[in-house]
Structure 1
């Protein structure tokens, strides 16, 4: 299959890229890794008249790790970020989510920020950003702005990007000390989109009790579904009965659809099971972190 005709631009300056997209309006699309956009073009599910290739634009690459967390440029490939040991140490959930993204050949070309902008309800990296309360840096005709993760994805395949704007980077904050994270999912084949997935973050206090617990579910709602489970786990040590109760609460918050891959009831069942697994793994990681850091926490 071949894409419909379009005008192709390959700017080298970010302002030039913004200008081209602003001029094209709704008919313009930005291209980074292309692992989502190109199939859509080939299947004629998208038909922009203008394609702006960002791969030559200066200043959109690089992974930066600092005291606040990890900043990922718009042209950073999944594989590059996955191999960055400093980023994985600062924000373990990045690696935990990236290993589940598609297949290695796709991770070699696809970009992490591009996955976030694509805003597929079944994608892992939007969930990582949402669970960590990250943010997306945006550049457009009116200048630059930073959009919190909770406000960035507005619906399935829809974001807060305005006409002419491009996402230049994503910021993933460091978890607070004593936090453990995990990401688990179920798919028909490894690398396929998840029938359901759950990321979890659990924070333990100095006394070993849970002070904060959250999960983020994919494939069961129009956007990454973040659920605060602190009330179900707070004050305890994330025991099995507490985790079961929290998982049930998370599953009740889902709004899955029936489709050719799975029924809504099955996805809701998976949400409960996977949330329980993710919480258990995150709690174990938090306990290991607490034991390692000791009084320094």
Structure 2
């Protein structure tokens, strides 16, 4: 069984259903409101464990009802939460998701306890990281902690996957060089490289720019169109599965969790792993919400 560690965020998602995004200064009614577990780190960890991987999570929560809600979810799925700690001042992270009738979303984030993760928290989890096959992280927790975790991973030959989301324009060179695989979507790829991703030629150009910045391997996801990979001399495109989209929340996180669960250490099965991840994502987008929409591996058939 693949051992995966995820360093990342925990948010309670407040989903606000609206016909369309409001204009500046506009007041409009919602058609519905719901609550679900979320946070990019938590989503990726849930995806990995539901994909069948032995998954450990490094994260922080507050001392509030939201924390209890999230811990119950993690325990139900069998996620290792030995390194999910509580902060005595900051509250559990929150995300406010504006979801329109076409299934597209805009998200506002309150970082809360997610922003209190320190290098000490990472060092306390160093043994867990060292024993893993793969370490995943994103940008909803402090960069200092991310770099420390990736250093420990590389010292122990652990595969590192960086999901550069939310998008950042100035990623430390050290972090890029510690990343075995970077997995941005088209918006994030443009933010990092300055190259607008619109077709395969621009995907190649963006991937080449990322290679020059120090990243060995690149996967660029482009939503309903699919995903592009560049492993230096080898590159290709994997088409998405066509489905009726209800909500794209957690689709990218599902892709990454499932990808890590299937990917061989030498990346020799990159296309097969991406196809598997794409299938899981296509199931996620057919249900509203984040973690509740992430499928179990028994339901992912390709």
TM-score range, shorter chain: under 0.3
Structure with greater contact order relative to length (CA < 8 Å, sep ≥ 6): 2
TM-score by length of 2: 0.27
TM-score by length of 1: 0.27
- The structure number with the bigger radius of gyration is 1
